[in-house]
Amino acid sequence: MAKNKKLFLITKLESSHHLPYWKLLVTFGIKPPIECDLIRLIGSFSGQKRKWQAFIDSLDVDYELLPEKTYQKRFRSKFEGFVPAPAILLQDNYELSTLISNVDLRKMNDLEALMELVKRRL
């Protein structure tokens, strides 16, 4: 694993356990109570899509899926203004920066585009 590097996948969900329920609603044509472009791209009924899981595991960088409220509590003192969720943040040593913003995620049409962007920006 890369030393002192970690990705934080910030979602708009209340809990990472809500991911399968969110995908189930979408599948049945029911609008979820919370729109999350990151989950739209990486989510499946059982959690994260296998292709995404294999990709992120291959990066040799630690990562964590965080609900927005947990992210805000944990990083309260590190940011003056929070990066709006959904987003992918990179912690390199002790510095935290935005790898992929909510604007970038909104423009994404598929998982392949997201994986390519992550590779380029890492």
Per-residue pLDDT tens for 2-55?
567 999 999 988 876 776 777 677 777 777 777 889 988 888 666 678 899 899
Range of the domain at 42: 5-121
Q: How many domains does the chain have?
A: 1
Q: pLDDT tens-digit profile of 43-91?
A: 866 667 889 989 999 998 999 988 888 888 888 766 556 788 999 999 9
Tell me the pairing of strands 47-48 and 62-67: unpaired
Spell out the residues 6+ positions from residue 20 whose beta carbon is closer than 8 angstroms to its own.
43, 44, 45, 46, 47
pLDDT of residue 2: 53
Q: pLDDT tens-digit profile of 92-118?
A: 988 889 999 999 999 999 999 999 999
Q: What separation in angstroms does the CA of 38 have from each of 3, 15, 84, 94, 122? A: 25, 14, 12, 24, 17
pLDDT of residue 34: 78
d(CA 122, CA 120): 6
Q: Are 16 and 38 in contact (CB under 8 A)?
A: no
